[in-house]
Amino acid sequence: MADIQKQLNAFTEIAQNPAKQLDKYVDAGKRVIGVAPYYTPEELVDAAGAVPFGVWGMQGPADEARQYFAPFYCSICQMSLEMGLNHTLDKLSGLMCSALCDTLKGFTQNWKAGNGERIPLIFVSQPQNRFSPAGLKYTVDSYKEVKEKVQECCGAIIDDDALFDSIRLYNKWRKAMRKFISLAGQRPTVVSVPQRSDVIEASYFMPKAEHLAMLKDLNEALEAVDPDMGDFSPVVLSGIYENIPDILRMLQENRISVVADDLAKESRTFAMEVSEEGDPITALAAGFCGMGNDSILYDPKKNHIHHVVDLAKENGAKGVIILLAQFCDPEEFDAPFITSACEDAGIPCVTIGIDQSTETYEQARTQFESFKDLLK
């Protein structure tokens, strides 16, 4: 058990010190490319010999970014732009970002205006209509342009063999992450909610090969420990992200175990499958086009709603917690339907608003305490 805690502490050290990680790779002579939401072909960065580095905002107030955004704007976009404007990200060689939601469209343009000369934007254009041959062709053409921009920012040539090596690596990493989510959810007496989050968060600040090596050792150690829920109540989290320190602490304090999640920054990302055959760019494009069950992606039949309920049933969850990112239209559209579907299935559900600029979560504390009573 002590060995597992030592392993978890190593992930926490990385997750909580992104600036140290950035300096480490830059000092080693590596190019580092920022990777912003959502579902971008990060494998291209890895294949170029550079380090993909997650840019999902930060905790704190938006000061300089207020010049570019209205106050009622997604905090991930506001705080990511803030990090560029206050020079936190100056050591990046580029920033890769999609435009899968309306706020990201504005973010990419404001990034070019405020930071583009120092940190070039690698714009990833992806279709919402992913199911037709035309959608796949559009994605392939877009990814070819992204490849050229990555090569320019990294000063490297990406050949097919290197790209397939990265695709195989990322497939192994996503599989190992799915395994970790399952193992940790059934062992909350060993892996706390903050520690679970740190293992995931660390993957955004290091090469996937390094993270995978650490993750394999951790998974092996966790498999040697019998599942033990103790007095924890199993739940499913739904939303964009969860790594707000106060929220993580409250989940832990209320003895809540995350047995599965429907979070864009977590399991939605790990769900992608990429073919290891044929043309690698086409394989990456098909991997994206094959994604589903997601508020961010075009979902005319609202399969995402049923997916959340199914996750709860399949994993024995006693409830669903929607962590609703404020001013996130796609999530706000789906949240009422998820709540209704959970009610129909007899699964308690609560919606808790989160924002990277929120100073206090005392109202959320009351919500967690009340919800915990429903799970008994």
Fold type of domain 27-158? Rossmann fold (3.40.50)
User: Would you say residue 105 has pLDDT above 70?
Assistant: yes
Structure tokens that stand for 193 in this block = 């909610």
Global pTM value: 0.96
Distance CA 373, CA 352 (A): 16
Contact predicate 295/304, CB 8 Å: yes
Two tokens, residue 97: 């970002």
pLDDT category of residue 359 using cuts at 50, 70 and 90: confident
pLDDT tens, position by position, 285-316: 999 999 999 999 999 999 999 999 999 999 99
Indicate if the pLDDT at residue 138 is higher than 90.
Answer: yes
Domain locations along the chain: 27-158
pLDDT tier, 1 (very low <50, low <70, confident <90, very high otherwise): low
Instruction: Return the percentage of the chain with pLDDT > 70, whole number.
Output: 99
Q: For position 93, what pLDDT does the model report?
A: 98
pLDDT-derived band of residue 81, with 50, 70 and 90 as boundaries? Answer: very high
Predicted pLDDT at 360: 84
3-state secondary structure the chain: CHHHHHHHHHHHHHHCCHHHHHHHHHHCCCCEEEECCCCCCCHHHHHCCCEEEECCCCCCCCCHHHHCCCCCCCHHHHHHHHHHHCCCCCCCCEEEEECCCHHHHHHHHHHHHHHCCCCCEEEECCCCCCCCHHHHHHHHHHHHHHHHHHHHHHCCCCCHHHHHHHHHHHHHHHHHHHHHHHHHHCCCCCCCHHHHHHHHHHHHHCCHHHHHHHHHHHHHHHHCCCCCCCCCEEEEEEECCCCCHHHHHHHHHCCEEEEEEEECCCHHHHCCCCCCCCCHHHHHHHHHHCCCCCCCCCCCCCHHHHHHHHHHHHCCCCEEEEEEECCCHHHHHHHHHHHHHHHHCCCCEEEEEECCCCCCCHHHHHHHHHHHHHCC
Give the pLDDT confidence of 323-334 residue by residue, as tens digits: 999 999 999 999
Does a cis peptide bond (omega within 30 degrees of 0) precede residue 138?
Answer: no
d(C-alpha 53, C-alpha 138), whole Å:
26
What average pLDDT does this structure show over 188-212?
98
Q: Which residue has the tokens 């290891």?
A: 276
pLDDT digits (tens, 9 = 90+) for 261-274: 999 999 999 999 99
Rounded to 5 degrees, φ, ψ at 198 are: -65, -35
Which range has the worst mean pLDDT, 27-31, 178-182, 314-318, 358-362?
358-362
Query: Which of residues 62 and 33 earns the better pLDDT score?
Result: 33
Mean pLDDT of 1-19: 94
Query: What number is the average pLDDT over the span 54-58?
Result: 96
